[in-house]
Amino acid sequence: MSRVLIVGAGLTGSLCACLLRRELQNKVQIVVWDKARGTGGRMSTSRPPDGASHSADLGAQYVTATPTYGQSHHRFYSELLSAGVLQPIQCLIQGLRHKDGDQDYVTPLGMGSLVKHFLSEAAGADLFLEHHVTALYRRGASWEVQNLAGGRETFDAVVLTMPVPQILQLKGDLTNFLSAQQKQHLDMVQYSSRFALALFFPPDAVFSFSWGASYVRDSSIICYIAADNRKRSADPAGLGPSLVVHTSVPFGLEHLEQDKEDVQPIILQELYRLLPDLPQPRSVKCQKWRYSQVLTSVPDCPGHMTIVDQPPLICGGDAFSHSNFDGCVESALSVLSALKRVLEVQQST
Ligand SMILES: Cc1cc2nc3c(=O)[nH]c(=O)nc-3n(C[C@H](O)[C@H](O)[C@H](O)COP(=O)(O)OP(=O)(O)OC[C@H]3O[C@@H](n4cnc5c(N)ncnc54)[C@H](O)[C@@H]3O)c2cc1C
């Protein structure tokens, strides 16, 4: 049995774990490490500190299936729709620029539920949170992986799914194995940066606008606002509504090196300028997305990059395809086919 480490419990890593379990069943032991306290990565759903308000999606908001992906990824869409994880969007998204044939979906339980669904389908995978990978060393036919807490374990294969700059920060042997062209391609990857705010309101709070989400055109600071519970058509009794705000990319870049605590009041002031009737929230959470969406992905890449064939060291994630649900599915499928090929060779020798 091969022991495979997947680094990152975002959508790509979770789907890799699920597909690996479905395809290779008991031929692999799957271990998932993530540095965060929860799963989801950029598709995570946050709860307010007191738990008395609706949760909020601070990263990804909804899933848009183009006609092509609606067909090629049909099995994923139909699985998620029949499990109730996805449902067609029902609210108005003001200012959404739509292409003919696109279908938008929301997650009634939050975007984090998409990732949790795939993790739960990776039956028997061992998930370890707060496991921050710091270094990788090749030890004969295995990889020794070290984490921030000083732990080290060996694996027969490693899949890295974090944003590319975080891959390049890893110490140890990884960079020694990169060819000059791979290094050049990874260095070319660029991400947008932005801040996100979640405002959690008391149960009696009422919003005076009718949309579920709105793209904002008349602000240099805020580009998107969502009444998160309306967007998801989910209104559990007794829980107050929540609002999500995304800043524009130029604002994100301008304030990138500032503490989020210093940036939060600027965003709030602009929000109340745009929505003067907004009630006062019970609590506010601010998130800095240093690596938000991929602007320039790895060139000529079929969804993954194999750094070492044996023992396998493979990179995946939205930087190897594109930054959305279908990009992560493309990457996970491509990681899977590369990994299956090398693991089958490994197991036959
Ligand atoms: C503000 C925002 C809005 C978006 N809107 C949409 C949208 O509406 N629709 C859509 O489809 N997509 C949207 N996206 C893009 C989408 O969220 C991403 O494409 C997708 O979540 C990427 O998933 P991933 O698994 O590839 O990477 P990630 O989600 O980044 O997962 C990587 C994981 O690796 C972990 N990690 C990093 N370094 C280490 C380490 N050293 N050790 C261990 N773990 C580590 C991280 O904690 C993280 O959980 C949005 C993204 C953002 C930020």
What pLDDT, in 10s, does the model give residues 171-202?
A: 999 999 999 999 999 999 999 999 999 999 99
SS3 103: strand
| Segment 266-293 mean pLDDT | 97
pLDDT above 90: percentage of residues in the chain? 89
pLDDT above 70: percentage of residues in the chain? 99
Ligand 1 pocket check for 323: Cβ under 6 Å: yes
Half-sphere exposure of 33 (CA within 13 A, CB side): 21
pLDDT at 83: 98
- Cβ atoms of 113 and 232 closer than 8 Å: no
Q: Where are the domains of the chain?
A: 2-37+129-188+298-348, 45-110+193-292
What is the pTM for the complete model shown?
Answer: 0.97
Ligand 1 pocket check for 96: Cβ under 6 Å: no
Q: Which amino acid is at 172?
A: G
CB proximity list for 49: less than 8 A, separation 6 or greater? 283
Ligand 1 pocket check for 313: Cβ under 6 Å: no
Query: Ligand 1 centroid to 329 CA: how many Å?
Result: 13
Query: Ligand 1 centroid to 290 CA: how many Å?
Result: 11
Using pLDDT thresholds of 50, 70 and 90, give the confidence band for residue 222. Answer: very high
Ligand 1 pocket check for 133: Cβ under 6 Å: yes
Checking if the pLDDT of 276 tops 80, the result is yes
Burial tier of 124 (Cβ tally within 10 Å: 0-12, 13-18, 19+): exposed
Q: Which atom of ligand 1 is nearest to the CA of 161?
A: 32
Q: Which atom of ligand 1 is nearest to the CA of 115?
A: 25
Residue from 114, 179, 38 nearest 324 by CA: 114
What are 64-82's pLDDT values in tens digits? 999 999 999 999 999 999 9
Same CATH fold, 45-110+193-292 and 2-37+129-188+298-348? no
What are 287-327's pLDDT values in tens digits? 999 999 999 999 988 899 999 999 999 999 999 999 999 99
Using pLDDT thresholds of 50, 70 and 90, give the confidence band for residue 348. Answer: confident
pLDDT at 241: 93
Q: Which atom of ligand 1 is nearest to the CA of 327?
A: 19
Ligand 1 pocket check for 44: Cβ under 6 Å: no
Match domain 45-110+193-292 to its CATH number in 3.40.190.80, 3.90.660.10, 3.20.20.70, 3.40.50.20.
3.90.660.10
Ligand 1 pocket check for 35: Cβ under 6 Å: yes
CATH hierarchy code of domain 2-37+129-188+298-348: 3.50.50.60
| Segment 237-265 mean pLDDT | 95
